[in-house]
Chain A
Amino acid sequence: MKGKVFSWFRGTVRILIKGGSCERFLNLCAFHRINLWNLHPEKEGYTAWVTLDGFRRIRPLIRKSGAHIRITGKSGLPFFLYQNRRRKMIFAAILTACFSIFFLSLFIWDIRIEGNRTLSDEKIMDYLQEEGIHQGIWKSSIDYKLLASNMRKNFDGITWVSVKLEGTRLLVDLQENTDLRIREEAVYNASDLVSDADGTIVRIITRAGTPLVEAGTEVKKGDILISGRIDLLDDSGSVYGYRYVPADGDIYIQTALSYQDKISLWHQEKEYTGREKTSLVLKFGSAALVLPGLWPEKYSLSDKTTCTMQLKMMENFYLPVYFQQTSIKEYDLTEKKYSKKEAEAVLNGNLNHFLEKIQEKGVQIFQNDVKIEKTDAVCTAKGTIIVIVKAGERADTEQIELQKEGTPQG
């Protein structure tokens, strides 16, 4: 059946069918393709809903069947317009609202960036700003293909970009190349992998080049781990030439990291006084309206939290109207001294945070020898952390010439 919205726009009538041959009338309606719905029997006859168009065509059927019809209800846009025909301001307001929505839909009011991992939203937004793309820009003034291709050229790490428009939202979807190996191969030519830390080799897998170390070798910072020079041997086993390649491989090295953290036992702590004020601001573009009675109070020391919500009509139909809720909490600063346990807890927390952070980068913790010492004024965490890290940084391969008579063949 037709949707309710469609029926509402066309107008519907609720009718009461009375008389001796109601069934005949119903069958005639069906035969003449006048659809009836919500048909149910009443004491006097039947009630049913019919479209306004259908109702206009039932007069001959009434006469033919001998039934009596009474209108018991009306609904829909034609009746609304007729009832409010004298209230011109309502129609003016509706028209203005429709026009405003249409006009606002011609601009971009929200920019969303998705898929970025190493590039920050701010960096991409700054780039878009440089390209002249910002909130409030005319939709048709953007060349989406050109923008996507410029983004690919400008950011090396981006492998794929899609710029599309959804409602009043500009959606920038991108994919970054996070595989460092692919980047390095593209950049470097004929290079060595040298150690970037002192330590012992734990594991080495060579993909290209000549490995100069093996598991268990002690190395110092700057030592060549995988050389980019490959010796070319003849049938007798003597070197007749060299081939230079970008060295490639995975080298894991066990190294010691020194760690030190210090906190003062005397510190300032926030104590909230309980006085709090919330203000609500309605923003339309750059114009702001603070709602009456909600002016923010000024405190000497306070924490300010702002929450901004953009008005939207549908999922992707954003409007340049913002509600900004700001809450200000007053606090006092008091001098306090950490107890031994508290200081230890703070230092342990900092250490754990540091360990978590380096583990996120792929570092394995092998041994932790950090110890906490306390004096009257300060508490110190000091020691070394033995870690296994992926080592190797690029350095140019020294190109040497063969000190032999004759030139290598091939």
Chain B
Amino acid sequence: MFSVKMMKKKRREHFLEKLTSDAMIPKDTLPGNTCVSLTGQKEVIIENYKGILEYTSEKLIIMTSRCKIEISGKHLEICYYAKEEMKVTGLIQCVSYCRPKT
């Protein structure tokens, strides 16, 4: 039952991706897609996330609908934190995506 649900979800995602690609619609309009905008090494704007999992001045882990995003660096500070968008400043060293193990 679980695998059927997963299959349906994957198929739906694949269909939507193909649709946006063929219709030349920006991919950030897809539901569940997280948008990460990096400006230089000192600023990152993240949109469409679920919440903060962990936050220290060296590491920020954000939960999204598909994966976790880990931002590591130094003197990390959240300039603003709202439901749709957050802006992080500091010296950003790494942005990584971690898929949850299934």
Contact = CB atoms under 8 A, between A and B. Distances in A.
Nearest to A29: B81
A58 to B, nearest CB: 13
Nearest to A23: B52
A30 B87 CA distance: 13
Contact of A37 (B52, B54, B57, B79): B79
B82 interface: yes
Contact of B77 (A26, A30, A31, A38): A38
A308 interface: no
Chain B contact residues, majority secondary structure: strand
A54 to B, nearest CB: 11
Interface residues of A, number: 17
B52 A26 contact: yes
A258 B81 CA distance: 84
A30 B55 contact: no
B2 interface: no
Contact of A35 (B76, B77, B81): B81
Interface residues of B, number: 16
Contacts, number: 54
Interface in A137-189: none
A27 B51 contact: yes
A40 B57 contact: yes
B51 A30 contact: yes
A1 B50 CA distance: 20
Contact of B55 (A1, A31, A46): A46
Contacts of B82: 1, 30, 33, 35-36
Contacts of B80: 1, 35-39
B54 A36 contact: no
Contacts of A30: 51, 81-83
Interface of A: 1, 23, 26-27, 29-31, 33, 35-41, 46, 48
27 contacts: A1-B82, A23-B51, A23-B53, A23-B55, A27-B52, A29-B81, A30-B81, A30-B82, A31-B83, A35-B80, A35-B81, A36-B78, A36-B81, A36-B82, A37-B78, A37-B79, A38-B78, A38-B79, A39-B77, A39-B78, A39-B79, A39-B81, A40-B76, A40-B77, A41-B55, A41-B57, A48-B81
